[in-house]
Amino acid sequence: MRLHRDAAVPALVGIWVAVVLGLDSSASLNQQRLLGLGTWLLLLAVLRGEDRISRLQVAVVVLYATVVEYVFAGWLGVYVYRLDNIPSFVPPGHGLVYLAALCLGRSAWTHRHRSAIVRATVLLCGGWAAWGLMLSARPDLLGALWFGCLLVFLVRGRTPLVYCGAFLVTSYLELLGTGLGSWTWQAYDPTGLISIGNPPSGIAGGYCFFDAAALWLAPRLLARYGRPKTPRGSRGAQS
């Protein structure tokens, strides 16, 4: 059952991303809101099959990523969405993207091929970052910096396979989203010092901050607030 789910969830997320971004490329604001409602419903439906800690991790990602969206897209304009807003499907979409990476990272198949998957992730992302920095017509310093962040997560993180999953899912998401025009990255950051590809090559390194926050914070929240309360008088009854 777990093996089937760990393959089915990423496949479902990949299909849903393609459907939503394809429809969003010509959607009105009201139609975009319907896509957001559908994404929320899908996220809630998929979470029904997850345990408590995974649900909490998804909640952390959605909250954290939403704040980042409003700061970096809504305020600073590092990237701009087609309708100059934060589409309603974006917050739940971050939850689905994390869940897909989580399923890929915990699957039995990826654990059997752990070393090969980590090496392939480093080579693919590293090659993309080198191309963006040295060969692309649009220089991509941010992508190279984020590739460095991805390396740190892969080396120091406790769940490198989740970060490998994030590389696969987020690279697919960003290439599709920018290709369809759902959002566009600016050529430079607000300081004008850091060049940015469209999308940045090492984008997974940026998304991994969401994943790391979920993996670190969720168990601590559960340990502190998730314990069942002892009914009053239970100690006296036991004594």
Domain extents for the chain?
2-223
Distance CA 231, CA 14 (A): 45
76-81 long-range contacts (CB < 8 A, ≥24 apart) are 76/190, 77/186, 77/190, 78/185, 78/186, 78/189, 78/190, 78/196, 79/183, 79/184, 79/185, 79/186, 80/183, 80/184, 80/186, 81/182, 81/183
pTM for the whole thing? 0.91
Can you read off the two tokens belonging to residue 52? 């408590």
- Residue 174 in tokens: 């960003």
What's the Rg (C-alpha) of the chain? 19
pLDDT tens-digit readout, 33-72: 999 999 999 999 999 999 999 999 999 999 999 999 999 9
| Among 119, 149, 130, residue whose Cα is nearest residue 197 | 130
| 5 alpha carbon, distance to own chain's centre | 19
Tell me the one-letter amino acid at 80. V
CA distances to 126, 151, 166, 169, 214 from 94, rounded to whole Å, are 24, 22, 11, 11, 12
Q: How far apart are CA 64 and CA 60, in angstroms?
A: 6
Please give the average per-residue pLDDT across 163-167, as a whole number: 97
Q: Residues 209-225: pLDDT tens digits? A: 999 999 999 999 888 88
Asked if pLDDT for residue 144 goes beyond 60, the answer is yes
The pLDDT of residue 1: 60
